[in-house]
Structure 1
Amino acid sequence: MKLIYYYFICVFTFLMSCTSKPEAQIYEYAGGCFKTALQFNPTNVVVEDINDLYTDMVVHQVLEGLFELNDMDLQPVNRLVEDYKIEDNGKKYRFKLRKDIYFHPHSLIGKKHPFEMHDVIATFEHACKANKEGEPSVLYQMVFEGKVKGAIEYFENKTDHLAGMYVENEELVIELIDHDFNFLEKLCVPSAKIIPKEIIEADQGSALVGTGPFVYQGTQLFGEDQAIVMTKNPNYYRVDAKGNSLPYLDSVMFYIEPKNLKQLSDFEEGKIHFVEGIPPARIAMMFEAHQEEFFNEPPQILLRRKPLLGTQYYALNMESPALQDVRVRKALNYGLNKERLVKEVLHDQAYAPGYRGLVPPFVLSDYDKNDSILNGYEFDLAKAKALLAEAGFPNGEGFPTLKLAFDKGTIHAAIAGEFAAQMEQNLGIFVNLEGYSFRKLNEVMSKGQGDIFRSSWYADYKSPESFLNCYNGLLVGDITGKSSKINTSRFRNLTFDEFLKKALNSENKLERLSLFAQAEEVLLAEVPFIILWYDESITLTRSEVRNLAVNEMNIYYLDRVYLKKWSMEEYQNSTGIKG
């Protein structure tokens, strides 16, 4: 039954794509269904609060923003914007929007509802209002608060419109308080995707109605398997360089599978085309069991490994009484043997142990030249014990038990166990482990319900700011206990904030990077975190998957992906399979 149903979806979508855009060509290898897996199902998505990789992977295929990052060089490219101008020394942006775009069908807007200016205004103004719990959205905190004129006043209900956003001469205008070199990059963040005004007014944002290359069909059951299904958008406006209609695929399926071993098993059985986050102990076994598929000509399986703009860390709650003394925070950092953690728990599935700051090393080459960011925390047990004793807790005596919150059912459970064991053995500090679902962990972190939180950050754009902004005091405010979705450590430091602000206002690249480095030096001195390791991407892909770019930010766009097995002749005439 599930095969018949899936066949109906693909045939229906393919016919629709042929009949609704007669002027567009159909790529000769168009069709098929790309299948992969997600650890978590991003259900009940609130678009303006998107802030995790799992939801990103889905919404990138369905929703679009004014701009998106190119998946090859990670630079902003136009999407819903046709053209733009920057005026007033970088403080005013004028956007001319495209007029050939339609939203996906929905009962509230019909089958072919045009994208218009008021949809952008409604999306952004909605994001600049508090939610039902009185909390700010991720989009407001990342893009608007303290950056766009009138955003704070609008959020606080002091005005009935966002003063820094208006329509003039049929263009959307956004005025900034200060020049922001990365403002276009900020408009690329997943939480800045545009949805219809009518959907917003009906509070139906989780329906994921967008303008993207695929139409969200919801989560469906296929036997015992649960999968998110997307089908080709027959009204999609973009074509490739040869005039072929995009996307090439008929459909996409994301199987929901929280267990990495099961994902790998599904890949080995040919059920899915692509898998990442391979369990460390299984990589060598995979090579041994499938040598022919890796080394045949042409190969059937591709292994790709590269550093990511991603950092795994523990956020230290700066409002926790136990962590007020910087000597204690430094002792926790010096007292953790990160190399042992990476070797024995991760089995070296990390780019490097977290010996430096929050910004990953060796990916942003110009930034890495700043010596100040080299002053991280390598394992130094003598120094850790001395600092703890100076703080009044020799050998951990009298120190309160810490509470560590992590997401259970993942490698982070083993990491948490190793951390607790090392803290007890090395420093005499006891750590209670509290495992939560991924969604519940985010809630616990944002509300500050604990001492230490398992966290990570993957860049939203290729700049140190994307990481350092996680500790921007503006995102917390002056109220203790206030919910904080980004700055989960609740770190407040005026010197850090000033360096960050000056960097954003600077038009000189070298000066900007130097200011970012000075800001990170403040972080390393105050150490509101424990950097665990810097991430890397290890992926397995079936070689018939073409055009799937793997980049430092784990951004995947599937609009140009197609499926075609390699012939020996094609392989011999190529320079190698790149996916």
Structure 2
Amino acid sequence: MKKSLLPLLLAVFVMGSCSNDKDGKSENAEALIEAKGGKYSGGIFKYNESEFLKNLFPHNITDATSYRIASQVYEGLLKFSQDSLQLTNGLAESYTVDETQTIYTFKLRKGVKFHDNACFPEGKGREFTAEDVKYCFSLLCTSNPQQNQGFSMFQGILKGADAYYEASTGGKKPEFEVEGIKVIDPYTIEFTLLEPNSIFPYNLARPFTFIFAKEAYEKYGQEMRVKAVGTGPFVISSIDEGTSVNLLKNPNYYLKDEAGNQLPYLNGIAVKFLKDRKIELIEFKKGNFHMMYRLPTDFIIDIEEQSVKKTGEYGMYELQKNPEMAVHFLSFANQGKMFSNINLRKAISFGIDRKMILDKVLDGEGDAPGFWGITPVNVFPQYDAKSITGYTLNLDSANYYLKKAGFKSGADVPKIVLELNSDGGRNEAVASEVRTQLKNNLNITIETNVVTTATLIDNMIGGKSDLFRVGWIADYPSPENFLWYLYGKNVPAGPSSSSYPNMARYKNSKFDELYEKGLKAQTDADAYKYFLEAEKVAMYEAPIVVLWYDEAYRLMQPTVKNFPNNAMQYRDFTAVYLTPSKSEAK
């Protein structure tokens, strides 16, 4: 079935620069040069994000767009392999763990330099050392509501972290250091945990533990939202708020490939921010984007058929498709005036037809309807997520719990405001269907309020929304990353105090007990057992409404090489390269 696209208003890539090239690239930036081993160096990789970044400062990265961009600029001690998502070395050359499983000793790479930046004398980046790790991690253990959403990486895990955090409240400077962080020499650092913790190594690959320069933080402070100084393969060239972000190759990057070619291969990355996916598809077909992540719903069937058969206008492109470590749900404010009522939460949960949303609204662009828990059902083979009793459309149950909640009918329920971001229109379409279903099924009135991603996140963290839409994408491969959202000990006492990651402000002591046992487990099998029981406890109380588990659709130009898809949408452009198109080769 042939579809017509909307007329396109041409968008120009605006590329400012802090370098000598005002357009962010030299005349030959997009030229490709054949390198050793059949690779090509050069080129600018161009792609689109439907939502603008919120914050690139590592301790405040809470959205996927910011994470994907910051991952090219910053590095952690550990990182993930792009194909298998296995932990691998980042800024660490190696590490060991003692027999008690509580002392981790990291050997750091030598010769790694921070990006050249005005925060350094003469603008030249200095060498990275263990003192930088200590500085960043100590700052992560500091109480600062405006500049630290990531303390949970070390809370209750790293020895002395909680005491340091408490001593730093109100802007005070502790008179002691974090006990569990010890610099052995410039290239060796040691961490001591309170007890064994199954996720600690993963935490050292997450965005909150990216390493930045002390000089940058002292010079830029909260401006590090957009002024990023790391050690990664790319450097921020320019940021045009709401329009574009441009990265340039770090000429001093420390890695080379097996053939001796300097990494990264690419000269740069150009990110645009177009909200309309149909316009994005037009730009992709014109060759103005190398990748398109998520497809316009109306075109999925045509694109899938033609990419498989290698025919039609989409036959030349590579379609990458697999289940994602991502879940989409509505989150109640569980301690709020309205949704502290568990029976109202259950009534709404039983009043929504998730299969209709996936099949009709999303046109099948998803892995499965949200019939079970918060953890995606098809990405962790050893985790029996489908054993969790979730919620499906059941109007008898919905009306039963509505009356149990104290309402004669849905008409008696006060108007509910659902807050969401657009995400290229997809979230709005889903919200419209939810609103229609709850009105038709239960006579409950829902009003939607569409805001920017940054505003939505601020309102969720600040407790300003009663019902909000969440897209939760794992930043490391474990069910724990999803249950983390519901961990009660991350919830502050004050209703308006920042609550992250538990923006639902859900608290259940039994859940917390099982979750903590999972953290202390020595094997994945034991950890998964406790996590699964914890998830069953939480879902019985309906703290969220799971809508669907996501599936990754990525359309790739045939010139893009060495850029495997994965279930986490973890992107590392270090070894990605472009080849000449057929016309260029000719």
**Superposition TM-score, scaled by structure 2 size:** 0.88
Corresponding position of 2:171:
none
In structure 1, the partner of 2:354 is 338
Query: Where does residue 500 of structure 2 map in the other structure?
Result: 485
Match status 1:391 vs 2:405: yes
| Whole-angstrom distance in 2 between the partners of 1:14 and 1:211 | 25
Q: SS state of the match for residue 502, structure 1?
A: helix
Residue identity over aligned pairs, in percent, reads 30
> Could you tell which deviates more after superposition, 542-551 or 506-515?
506-515
Aligned partner of 1:252 in structure 2 is 269
**Whole-angstrom CA distance in 1 between matches of 2:335 and 2:434:** 21
Contact 1:10 1:231 in 2 (8 A): no
The alpha-carbon deviation at position 182 of structure 1 amounts to 1.5
1:397-476 matches, cutoff 5 A: 397-408=411-422, 410-476=425-491
Structure 1 residue matching 2:498: 3-state secondary structure: coil
Aligned pairs (5 A) from 1:166-245: 166-170=182-186, 171-202=188-219, 203=221, 204-206=223-225, 207-219=227-239, 226-245=243-262
- 1:536 aligns to 2:555 (yes or no): no
1:157, 1:233 → 2: CA distance?
38
Deviation (angstroms), 1:314? 0.6
Q: In 1, distance between residues paired with 2:147 and 2:24? A: 43
Q: What is the CA distance between 1:541 and its match in structure 2?
A: 0.5
Asked whether the equivalents of residues 239 and 246 of structure 1 are also in contact (C-alpha less than 8 Å), the reply is: yes
- What's 1:148 paired with? 158
1:81 aligns with 2:115: no
**Inter-partner Cα distance in structure 2 for 1:78 and 1:463:** 19
The 5-angstrom pairing of residues 103-182 of structure 1 reads 103-109=114-120, 110-131=123-144, 134=145, 137-141=148-152, 143-157=153-167, 159-160=174-175, 161-170=177-186, 171-182=188-199
Change (3 A) 1:426 1:292: closer
1:185 Cα deviation (Å)?
0.7
| Cα separation, 2, equivalents of 1:281 and 1:31 | 35
Residue in 2 that maps onto 1:99? 110
Match of 1:269 in 2: 286
In 2, the alpha carbon distance for the partners of 1:266 and 1:494 equals 51
Describe the superposition over 1:103-161 as per-residue Cα deviations: whole angstroms up to 9, x where unpaired: 11101112231112221122122222233xx45723212x1111111112211226432
1:297-317 Cα shifts (integer Å, max 9, x gaps): 996311121110000001111
CA 1:30–1:294: 2 relative to 1, 3 Å:
same
C-alpha separation between the residues in 2 aligned to 1:269 and 1:380? Answer: 47
Determine helix, strand or coil for the equivalent of 2:492: coil
**Letter of the aligned partner of 1:55 in structure 2?**
S
Change (3 A) 1:317 1:28: closer
- Give the Cα–Cα distance (whole angstroms) in 1 for the partners of residues 309 and 26 of structure 2: 31
Distance (Å, rounded) in 1 between the aligned partners of 2:125 and 2:524: 44
Q: State the match for 2:538 in structure 1.
A: 523
Q: 1:125 to 1:14 in 2, by over 3 A?
A: farther
Q: Distance in 1 between matches of 2:264 and 2:38?
A: 9
More displaced 10-residue stretch of structure 1: 558-567 or 210-219: 558-567
The range that moved more, 32-41 or 463-472, is 32-41
Which residue is equivalent to 1:574? Answer: none
How far apart, in 1, do the equivalents of 2:447 and 2:311 lie? 47
Letter in 1 for 2:278: L
The separation in 2 between residues aligned to 1:173 and 1:129, in whole angstroms, is 19
Which segments of 5 or more consecutive residues in structure 1 lack a partner in the other structure? 19-23, 571-579
Residue 239 of structure 1: CA displacement? Answer: 1.3
Contact 2:235–2:250 (Cα < 8 Å) also in 1: yes
Give the direction of change, closer, same or farther, for the CA distance of 1:405–1:79 in structure 2 (3 Å limit).
Answer: same
The CA RMSD measured in Å over matched residues stands at: 2.9
Q: Distance in 2 between matches of 1:508 and 1:43?
A: 36
Asked if structure 1 preserves the Cα contact closer than 8 Å seen for 2:328 and 2:472, the reply is: yes
Is the alpha carbon distance of 1:283 and 1:508 closer, same or farther for their aligned partners in structure 2, counting shifts above 3 Å? closer
Q: SS in structure 2 opposite 1:532?
A: strand
State the aligned residue count: 554
Distance of aligned partners of 1:298 and 1:240 in 2 relative to their CA distance in 1, 3 Å threshold: farther
Contact between 1:146 and 1:177, CA under 8 Å: does it hold in 2? yes
Asked if the contact 1:10/1:251 (under 8 Å) is kept, the reply is no
The amino acid of 1:104's aligned partner reads H
TM-score calculated relative to the size of structure 1:
0.89
Matched residue SS, 1:45:
coil
CA distance in 1, matches of 2:501, 2:307: 43
Match for 2:273: what amino acid? Answer: I
Q: Where in structure 2 are the equivalents of 1:27-66 lying within 5 Å?
A: 28-42=39-53, 45-66=56-77
How far apart are 1:34 and its partner, in Å?
1.1
**Distance in 2 between residues matched to 1:44 and 1:60, nearest whole Å:** 12
Residues of 1 paired with 2:456 and 2:252: CA distance? Answer: 39
Give the corresponding residue for 2:338.
322
Asked whether the equivalents of residues 95 and 173 of structure 1 are also in contact (C-alpha less than 8 Å), the reply is: yes
Q: Match for 1:150: what amino acid? A: G
Give the Cα separation in 2 of the matches to 1:94 and 1:546: 36
Verify the 8 A CA contact 2:24 2:246 in the aligned structure 1: no
Quickly say closer, same or farther: Cα 1:84–1:307, change in 2 above 3 A: same
Structure 2 portions without partners, runs of 5+: 1-11, 16-20, 169-173
- How far is the alpha carbon of 1:93 from its aligned partner? 1.0
Letter of the structure 2 residue corresponding to residue 391 of structure 1: A
Counterpart CA distance in 1 for 2:253 and 2:581 is: 28
8 Å CA contact 1:123–1:200 kept in 2: the answer is: no
Preserved contact between residue 462 and residue 499 of structure 2 (Cα < 8 Å): yes
**Residues in 2 aligned to 1:312 and 1:480: alpha-carbon distance in whole angstroms:** 24
Displacement of 1:233 after TM fit?
1.1
Question: Once the 2 structures are TM-superposed, how far is the Cα of residue 509 of structure 1 from its aligned partner?
Answer: 2.9
